[in-house]
Amino acid sequence: RVKEIGKNDFQFYTPEMNEMVSKKMQLEIGLRKALERKEFEVYYQPQIDVNSGRVIGVEALIRWEHPKLGFISPVEFIPIAEETGLIIPIGEWVLKEACRQNKEWQNQGFPAMRMAVNISSRQFKQSNLIAIVSKALEESGLEPHYLELELTESIIQDSKYAIMTMHQLKQMGIYLSIDDFGTGYSSLSYLKLFPIDSLKIDQSFTRNMFEDDKDAALVHTIISMAHNLDLKVIAEGVETEAQLAFLSQRQCNEAQGYLFSRPLPAHAISELIKHPYTYG
């Protein structure tokens, strides 16, 4: 049994560091088996039209329940999936499942809405992305304009290839948006090159709007810029009425956040959209 260790003793750190390394390894090992063991589930978070208060879309967000460690946040495991390449099969599974679910809701007679799927940069760069997206649409029978792909500014690194791929997706009729807008370090010039439909204002700006005037100014500026470029704009992380009012006054098109709903499993979304859901 180890006796009390002084806080300046190096051993104080070692077990924690070991634990961190082994947790990452545990996650990596777990991720390799998670698909076949059916440990993933897709949750959906409503996106609301600011003017009408209606649900116009949902964002698909993956959830993972590790058999021993319990629920692991995608913030923790998506980067590991990216690093190991596991994001390719996992991402394809999410895309298929999300398209299938959206078509199922349409078949059940719910008002048609868009399904937004996050695409990480490694997924975006895979050579058969177009084939994978086409297959997900074909197999589900979902029309392409009901699918949205959320891309991040990081894909811009390889801009020639990115522009080509985006044009192909656009020609297929898919809705394209830039996620976490404003948090990347890319130049704005890509906005005129990329055939995108909308910008998603990152939640870090929305969150601090009333604590920091500069965040409010950034939110306002992103909305104006999007509109000047003929793009739609959606704010993420909307948690309060005051934030919604601010966004509405500045003609932000859409909003998403805990104010309306947390991400929910498919059956709970069915309940929500069963009775024509209108916020406010």
Do the Cβ atoms of 134 and 162 come closer than 8 Å? no
Do the Cβ atoms of 198 and 227 come closer than 8 Å? no
Of 183, 280, 278, 198, the closest CA to residue 234 belongs to 198
Q: Please report, as a single letter, which amino acid is at residue 99.
A: C
Do the Cβ atoms of 84 and 49 come closer than 8 Å? no
**Contact flag: residue 180 with ligand C2E (CB under 6 A):** yes
Segment interacting with ligand C2E, rule: CB under 6 A, options 58-66, 167-175, 222-230, 240-248: 58-66
The footprint of Mg ion on residues 226-245 (CB under 5 A) is 236
- Residue 96 in tokens: 């298929």
Segment interacting with ligand C2E, rule: CB under 6 A, options 153-161, 163-171, 236-244, 268-276: 236-244
Residue closer to ligand C2E, measured from CB, 9 or 241: 241
**Contact flag: residue 180 with Mg ion (CB under 5 A):** yes
Do the Cβ atoms of 59 and 263 come closer than 8 Å? yes
**Contact flag: residue 57 with ligand C2E (CB under 6 A):** no
Alpha-carbon gap, residue 169 to 144, rounded angstroms: 9
Provide the mask over 64-103, with x wherever binding to Mg ion is found by CB under 5 A and - wherever it is not: ----------------------------------------
Count of residues interacting with ligand C2E (CB under 6 A):
24
Contact with Mg ion (CB under 5 A) among 45, 47, 101, 118: 118
Do the Cβ atoms of 67 and 33 come closer than 8 Å? no
Question: Could you list the residues that contact ligand C2E (CB under 6 A)?
Answer: 45, 60-62, 73-75, 78, 91, 94, 118, 120, 150, 179-180, 203, 236-239, 256-258, 263
